[in-house]
Structure 1
Amino acid sequence: MTNHQILNALAGNPAAPAGVLLRLLALDDHSIRFRLSWRETFPDEVAETMLTHPDRRVRRMLAESWTIDPELRARLLDGPASDAFAVGRGPNPYRMAVPPLPDWAYERLLTHERDMVRYETLNAAGVPDHVLVPLAGHPDPMFRQAACRRVWHALPDDVRTSLLHDTDQAVRRVASLWVMHEDEERTTELVETLADAWQLGEVVERGRLGRAVAERLLAEGKRLPWLARNPTLPADLAARLAHHEDPAVRLAVAARPELSEEERAAIDWEVGPEDRLDTLRWVWDARTDPVVLRRCATSAHPWLRRSAAVCRELPEDCVELLAGDEDFAVRLLLAERHPKAPAELLLDLYLDDTHRAVSMLVIKPQFPAAGLAARFGEAADPRARALAVGDPEATPELLERLSRDAAAEVRAKAAQDVRLPVGRVVELLADPDVGWAAAGNPVLPVAEMMALLDRGGAPV
């Protein structure tokens, strides 16, 4: 354990007062400053200091923080002109909603003199619909493209029609991507104009294919795995691909919606437990149809079951069925994506697998907590003993004992618990393996925090 690890953990301590945080900010340490920028609690004094900090990297961290008040992020627009780029781009956390800036900030960003600021703002996460919808009539085609791409669902029919006939080819193309699933003519046009562009795969997979263009794509051998996934590909043409030399093509054919289970089984396909497969589009499009979801959940093909597992509308009996699926990816996707995934499924995945994704399951609302102390307080597996700390009914005696556990991960979990006596938390600061965990405990006295700063060489 290093002083850097201690101070980094201290930067995330929710009880650290402004005086502690300001000393940490004074350190010229990128990772510690970054940790400060995504605290959930932020004293005004610290926020104001970051807002006017002479180091633009600190101000950029503030602009990219998803926990700081958006009003504060917007105030960076009153500082150096270069900060506007970072404000426009904003935060982009994984699978988390980004709170929007105030409307006045978007008005300034979208009329900014620099093209890149306007571009980043148009593509930033969290921009609300009511800001983007009016841009469908903007004189700049870049703005109209953004409206097409991001808020097509909120545009009136007459505006959509206008965009489909826009004078700018790029705008027409983006608009056409929204209607190609029901329009053969536009699909054909997109196949022609996109040629070898990266979007061609999406068109070939999702567009409504006329027979002529389907036969041409098949003959040319273009994007065959995508072509085989398109539900509008005529069945006789799809059958020609059932024995293709490329296993990705055969796999796609076997996952087509019109096939029976017997027909799927007749194709030579294989799916490994670690194979990454995107959700089948035809399953996702039918996610509100319980008949389709039930058929997919009971299929022998794991791709269909994986695709059903990510749908929140999956019937409860199918949730129970997939919770016991033999395919690891089905169980993991269900645990990650379905709000009613059984608590025991999350627990089993966490304890019995080493896949990097299972470690995130403990933050799910349905992850069990009650009763874990009795179940795992004496368990042989240190990961299980660490879970015992999270039981709201864990006794002080158990927490004290686990804070002295032979496994560092168990001691670390106990060191972070606010129920652990303050004296024991302070003692754990000296533990070379878990001192960082104790430094992040909110019950740590401010005097101890200051002592850590002194030892770490933080400026006064």
Structure 2
Amino acid sequence: MCDQWTRQLYALAVNRAAPADVLLRLLGQEDDCARRPVPQRAVLPQEVIEAILVHPDPQIRKAFAENAHADPDQRARLVDDPSKSVHLSLAVGPMPYREPVPPLPDWAYERLLNHPEALVRQELFGWGGRPPAHVLVGLADHEDPLFRLAACRDAWHELPDEARQRLLHDDDREVRLAAAEQVCPEDEERTTWLIGELEGSWREADVLRTGRLTRELAERLVAEGERLAAIAGNPSLPPDLVARLAVDPDPAVRLVVSARPELSEADRAAIDYTVDPEARLGTLEWVWERREDAARLRQCARSAHTWLRRSAAVCPGLPADAVELLAEDEDFAVRLLLAEFHPAPPPELLLDLYLGGTHRAVGMLTARPGFPFAGLAARFGDSPDPEHRMLALRDPGLEPELLDRLSRDPGTRNAAARHPRLPVARIRELLADPDEHTAAAAATNAALPPEDMRRILDRAGVPEIQVNDRTSG
């Protein structure tokens, strides 16, 4: 559990206005709970970065290696770190939610690709930030099959034809499988081979969905009746077999058939399918492939099929008239996906979902472009719901009197304590509040003067920063 001082020190560490000397002192104190946020900050002064890079605690250096906001050139300096665990964190890289991460410089990938520890090399191709395709292209002929495998999976379309042919006939089975998976949508022979090789594995389902099927294989798979939900959406499935699966006893199979791209609205309506409002359906691949095709997206947005409308809602090329249509859709997931993914979601949709939604994702909608903060103070400043009153704090036209009142309201006090237009005198009052959560909230306020931050450090007994020689960790 965090005590009062730890909470305030943590708050200073995340205060976006904390000056370099405050951050350096936080880095030098012993409480890990309070110093760990420093290397994870979005903005760091250069002198603080220098201190992080030579910090004696490898956990601090690892946290910087995983910072999605840090300059890749600065993170790359950790390839010279004495700790293998730091190298591992650098190889895994940052994994922010739905945000791209700029790649490391090429020279850093070259060093990590030649790292003496196999685990570090392996993590470069794991779930984190993988090397960019132009780096992986050069690995297609590498002696290590792990590298050739990465080139197959993440740089296939950048490879020259001769390199692809070599990988399709590679000595390593896993490399051959990965290469065959890349070409199976157009290659019946390799689809047949893959289904035999991958039987029972999770990768088999992808081949069944996308691989080009011979008539003989398609008939056999349908007759076996075991993997029909995957096969039902395969683009190469013959029409008569599609018709057979459209009346299959399994509702999951009928649902997949009903969402095939070649069907008309009448065809879809003739299939007995249902879409559960709570069902988590992935974006239809054929819709995503046409994500900039305005005409096709309009068709999907106007479809009676919920799955097509959900798929259209995530596409950046959705035209304005279709956006307007889907913003009024009867399906909650359609509206939420539109709000989450469209580059310019309707402002009132964002607000309506935030106010009326129960899904955990609605809480993040205030970060979406165009959220209508203006006017929320007048609209919600006196709301009986504290969550709605907190929206008033986001109004750029918030009056000082209402801000002061909300800073004294038990339901909004902590949120108001963070407001950058709160007068310094009131911030100091809240900083001295007996409720440690309120005091910590005030310590995060960017309007808190630096001298107040330093007094907090002094009262907590935090010494000046002492940078020691880093250890191997």
Q: TM over 0.5: same fold?
A: yes
Partner of 1:116: 119
Partner residue of 1:227? 231
- 1:244 is aligned to 248
Which of 174, 177, 181 aligns to 1:173? It is 177
**Partner AA of 2:248 in structure 1:** H
Shift of 1:203: 0.6
Deviates more, 1:185-194 or 1:51-60: 51-60
Residue 373 of structure 2 is aligned to residue 349 of structure 1: no
1:100 to 95, 99, 103: 103
Q: CA deviation at 1:91?
A: 1.4
Pick from 261, 265, 269: which aligns with 1:261? 265
Q: Is the 8 A contact 1:228 1:241 kept in 2?
A: yes
Task: Give the letter aligned to residue 331 of structure 1.
Answer: R
The answer to whether residue 380 in structure 2 is matched with residue 376 in structure 1 is yes
Structure 2: distance between partners of 1:428 and 1:413: 11
1:130 alignment partner, one of 115, 130, 134:
134
Cα separation, 1, equivalents of 2:261 and 2:290: 11
Deviations along 1:408-438, one digit per CA (max 9) or x if unpaired, are xx33332222111111111122442533221
Task: Choose between structure 1 and 2 for higher RCO, CA contacts under 8 A separated by at least 6 residues.
Answer: 2
Residue 456 of structure 1 deviates from its aligned partner by: 4.7
1:307: how far off? 0.8
Q: Residue 32 and residue 154 in structure 1: after superposition, are their counterparts in 2 closer, same or farther (change >3 A)?
A: farther
* Structure 1 pair 256–30 and aligned structure 2 pair: CA distance change class (3 A): farther
Deviates more, 1:320-329 or 1:297-306: 297-306
Structure 2: runs of 5+ lacking an equivalent? 465-473
What is residue 400 of structure 2 aligned with on the other side? Answer: 396
1:296 is matched with: 300
* Total equivalences in the alignment: 458
Q: Distance in 2 between matches of 1:167 and 1:362?
A: 52
Match of 2:471 in 1: none
Is the contact made by 1:310 and 1:337 (CA closer than 8 Å) also made in structure 2? yes
Contact 2:247 2:271 in 1 (8 A): yes
CA contact (8 A) 1:231 1:282 kept: no
Answer whether contact 1:97 1:126 (CA < 8 A) is retained: no
* 1:271 has 2:292 as partner: no
Residue identity over aligned pairs, in percent, reads 57
Aligned partners of 1:327 and 1:335: how far apart in 2? 13
Question: Aligned residue for 2:155?
Answer: 151
Question: What amino acid is aligned across from residue 436 of structure 1 in structure 2?
Answer: A
Is structure 2 residue 437 aligned with structure 1 residue 417? no
For the structure 1 residues 195 and 322, does the alpha-carbon distance in structure 2 shift closer, same or farther, using more than 3 Å as the test?
A: same
Match of 1:210 in 2: 214
Change (3 A) 1:244 1:111: same
Q: Is the 8 A contact 2:9 2:457 kept in 1?
A: yes
Deviation at 1:81, TM superposition (A): 4.5
8 Å CA contact retained: 2:91, 2:129: no
CA shift at 1:326, angstroms? 0.6
Provide the rounded CA distance (Å) in 2 between the counterparts of 1:34 and 1:364: 28
| Equivalent AA in structure 2 for residue 182 of structure 1 | E
Closer, same or farther: CA 30–244 of 1 in aligned 2, 3 Å: farther
Secondary structure in structure 2 of the residue aligned to 1:333: helix
What whole-Å deviation, never above 9, does each CA across 1:309-340 have from its counterpart, x for those lacking one? 11111122111100100100000001111112
CA contact (8 A) 1:63 1:86 kept: yes
| Distance in 2 between residues matched to 1:111 and 1:276, nearest whole Å | 41
Matched, 1:37 2:43: no
- CA pair 260-29 structure 1, distance change in 2 beyond 3 A: farther
- The Cα shift of 1:273 comes to 2.5
Structure 2: distance between partners of 1:202 and 1:73: 36
Comparing 246-255 with 328-337, which one deviates more in the overlay?
246-255
Stretch moving more, 145-154 or 323-332: 145-154
Which of 432, 437, 458 is 2:441 aligned to? 437
Name the counterpart of 1:60.
Answer: 62
Contact 2:58 2:83 in 1 (8 A): no
Give the conservation status (yes or no) of the 8 Å contact 2:141–2:148. yes
The letter of the residue matching 2:319 is: P
Show structure 1 runs of 5+ residues with no match. Answer: none
- Decide whether aligned partners of structure 1 residues 234 and 353 sit closer, same or farther in structure 2, where only a CA change above 3 A counts: same
| Aligned-partner Cα distance in 1 for 2:31–2:235 | 53
The one-letter code sitting in structure 2 at the alignment partner of 1:17 is: P
Structure 1 residues 281 and 78 mapped into 2: Cα distance closer, same or farther (>3 Å)?
Answer: same
SS of the residue aligned with 1:54? coil
- SS of 1:48's equivalent? helix
User: Is the alpha carbon distance of 1:47 and 1:264 closer, same or farther for their aligned partners in structure 2, counting shifts above 3 Å?
Assistant: same
**In 1, distance between residues paired with 2:371 and 2:164?**
44
Aligned residue among 276, 284, 291 for 1:280: 284
Q: TM-score, normalised by structure 1?
A: 0.92
What amino acid does structure 1 have at the position aligned with 2:402?
A: L
Aligned to 1:6: 8
Cα 1:244–1:435 change in 2 (3 A) is: farther
Task: Identify the range of structure 1 (308-317 vs 28-37) with the bigger mean alpha-carbon deviation.
Answer: 28-37
**In structure 2, distance between residues paired with 1:387 and 1:157:** 56
- Contact 1:99–1:126 (CA under 8 A) maintained in structure 2: no
Task: Name which of structure 1's ranges 168-177 and 357-366 shifts more when overlaid on structure 2.
Answer: 168-177
Render the CA deviation track for 1:277-322: whole Å, top value 9, x for unaligned.
Answer: 1111122123233333222211222111101111111122111100
From the superposition, tell whether residues 201 and 448 of structure 1 become closer, same or farther in structure 2 (CA, over 3 Å).
same
Q: Within 2, Cα distance between the matches of 1:246 and 1:37? A: 52
| Equivalent AA in structure 2 for residue 76 of structure 1 | L
Greater shift, 179-188 or 120-129, is seen at 120-129
Q: C-alpha distance in 2, partners of 1:29/1:206?
A: 53
Q: Can you list the C-alpha shifts for 1:141-180, whole angstroms capped at 9, x where unaligned?
A: 2212111211223223443333333343322322222222
SS in 1 for 2:232: helix
Instruction: Find the aligned partners of 1:12 and 1:112 in 2 and give their Cα distance.
Output: 34
The answer to whether the 8 A contact 1:11-1:21 is kept is yes
> 1: CA distance between counterparts of 2:190 and 2:419?
59
* 8 Å contact from structure 1 (residues 319, 340) kept in 2: no
CA contact (8 A) 1:98 1:126 kept: no
Displacement of 1:28 = 4.4
- CA distance 1:280–1:352, change in 2 (3 Å): same
Deviation at 1:9, TM superposition (A): 2.1
